[in-house]
Structures are given as structure tokens and as C-alpha cells.
Structure 1
């Protein structure tokens, strides 16, 4: 997904403001299995996925709990670092070789002070991230693993093809054996 599409999907900016924002963004590449963000660290960058897929996870004892997948067009951010300049709780692992757009949070914060259009873009960005978080929370609290799997199939079927079943099972909060049963039931 190209940078203009990603920026426009958040909020339509005047061309001059978009140009100023794009001047602060650089393209970076990282290999599969690279740990892009680390828990217990203040993260200073925001990433937009041009190509590839990632997962967010947290460690609970000896286990890794996957709670989010990101793919082309999605944003990778530690909201706790972005909003409060505090250590985040999530790790972000690249599940494929990834092409990313990188933006320093400090540059973005400075742009917010300089241009109201960019401040509005940032507000819309934060609102969209809040809605995504709310949807994940509600799904975890009120939907069964079967319902969440069907939703994943309906809305992000490519994730099923691109992500290891162990990560999908973790995301659904079930074992791989239970995931196999769900998949058999649907077939």
C-alpha cells in the first residue's frame, strides 16, 4: 500500500500539509522475525505497513499471547509511548519481510503545533486507533472463539493464509487443538 493511500485513509489533508508530513517519513525494511517494538521500552517511532504482516504480543510467564495482527495499510504504534512517553507493554514481531514507512513521533508532535490540518489528522489517527482497541476488547469479552475466528475469516481471510496457526490460536485465546476443531467444524 502506498504512503498516500495510508495517509488519506486516516484523514484527507490539503496537498501542502500532506507534503510536509511525507517529508518526515522514511521507508525502512526489516526481515521476518525482527522484533520492531519491545515491551518495557519507550518507543519513539510510528510505522505504517507498506508490505508485510506483523503481530503484537505480550509475554505472560513462559507464554506469548498474540492480541493483534497488522498488515498492509495498518499502523504500528505503542500508544502508551505515543501518548504518555511511557514504556509500552507490547512486542511487535514481523511475520514476513516487511517494507514500512517510519515516522518519528517527535516530528509528528512538532507538526501538530505548526499546522491545524496535521493536528486534525493526528486526532483522527488517535480516534481510529481507539476504535480498533475498543473493537478488540469487545470481541475478547463478548464473542466466542468460533465467532472471532469467523470474523477473522470474513474480514481478514488473508491473515489465515499468512500467519502460523499457533499465532492465530493464541489470538483467539485457544489451543491449536481447539482451533483445529473449529476449522473442521466450519469446513
Structure 2
């Protein structure tokens, strides 16, 4: 946990962001200069690929979200981040976060832990896509993140699993 001093310094740099369902937090082609903490709501990260939108992650309460590549490199984002529900987020700029990480080792450790969690989720997605069947990916989703089924439209879930909506319907009919 953060010391009272570090918490105070962090709170002074946070800004509340309230957005409505279907709005975009990040759009491809623009540099993402903010890291967000999702207090309430749901989001999805997606890419446009040959005219199709491909969902590659979801975020829910207590998740950190950003276009990590764009945020870290300060290059234009290649993804879009869209709200699936009305949401409340807290943002901090890259400049303020960098300053706080230099000033407070505990904030640096906290941010590193968030980055590590993101990397682990990314690696799990890669392994699942390469080595598991559609049915196995769906079963794992049900076991590890069942709330997604309740809060996310099936078309986005199918895209996330790398299958058609029809295939998802067939798989779901077995459960």
C-alpha cells in the first residue's frame, strides 16, 4: 500500500473522467497521454483489421487501462478503446506519472505491478489463441472471467475468442 504522502501526491494528479456508453476513450492514430483507472463501468480494446473490428481485451472495475504501447512510446495508438457501459475513470498524465515514480519508489513499484499484470494477460491471450481450441477458450472464459458473459455483447465476445458469432452460439448451446 502507498504511504499517506504518496497517496496525497497521486490524488492531486488524478482527474475524474465520466463517459457514456459507446464513447471512445482512445482512438487509433492519436497519441495516448493518459493512464486510466476504471472505477465503474466496462471497456473494450479493439483493432480495425481489413474493415473488421477485432476485440482483443476487456476491462472492468479496478483495472488500469490505456493504449499501453502508445502511452509508453508516445507514438500514435493502433487500437481503439470504447466504453461498453457508462463509466467513471480517473486519469493521470504520463508526465505526472513519471514525475511521481521518480519521487516515490512505492508508486514506481505499484505501476510496475500494474504493467506486469497487463503483460501476463497479454501472454495468456497469445497462448490461448495459439494453442487452445475455441471451446477451450470459451470454457476458460467461463471459469476465469464469467462476468464478461453477463456484461458484454456476444458479438464482442466472439471476436475476443477469435470465432464467429455462430460458432459461439453452437459452443454455448452445449453448456
- For residues 74 and 122 of structure 1, the distance between their equivalents in structure 2, rounded to whole angstroms, comes to 12
**CA RMSD in angstroms, aligned pairs only:** 1.2
Paired positions, count: 175
More deviation, 89-98/16-25: 16-25
Q: Per-residue deviation at 1:41?
A: 1.5
Q: Unmatched 5+ residue regions in structure 2? A: none
- For residues 40 and 26 of structure 1, the distance between their equivalents in structure 2, rounded to whole angstroms, comes to 23
Equivalent residue number for residue 86 of structure 2: 97
Q: Per-residue deviation at 1:122?
A: 2.2
Q: Per-residue deviation at 1:157?
A: 1.4
CA displacement, residues 130-163 of structure 1 (integer Å, 9 cap, x when unaligned) = 1121111111111111111111111221211111
Q: Unmatched 5+ residue regions in structure 1? A: 1-11
- For residues 53 and 119 of structure 1, the distance between their equivalents in structure 2, rounded to whole angstroms, comes to 26
Equivalent residue number for residue 66 of structure 1: 55
Equivalent residue number for residue 146 of structure 2: 157
- For residues 18 and 146 of structure 1, the distance between their equivalents in structure 2, rounded to whole angstroms, comes to 44
Out of 40, 52, 63, the position equivalent to 1:51 is: 40
Equivalent residue number for residue 127 of structure 2: 138
The question of 1:86 aligning with 2:62 is answered: no
Equivalent residue number for residue 107 of structure 1: 96
- For residues 19 and 151 of structure 1, the distance between their equivalents in structure 2, rounded to whole angstroms, comes to 39
Q: Secondary structure at the match of 1:87?
A: coil
Equivalent residue number for residue 127 of structure 1: 116
TM-score normalised by length of structure 1: 0.89
Counterparts of residues 167-186 of structure 1 (less than 5 Å): 167-186=156-175
- For residues 80 and 56 of structure 1, the distance between their equivalents in structure 2, rounded to whole angstroms, comes to 13
Equivalent residue number for residue 147 of structure 1: 136
Which runs of structure 1 show a deviation greater than 4 angstroms over 4 or more consecutive aligned residues?
A: none
Q: Secondary structure at the match of 1:46?
A: strand
TM-score normalised by length of structure 2: 0.94
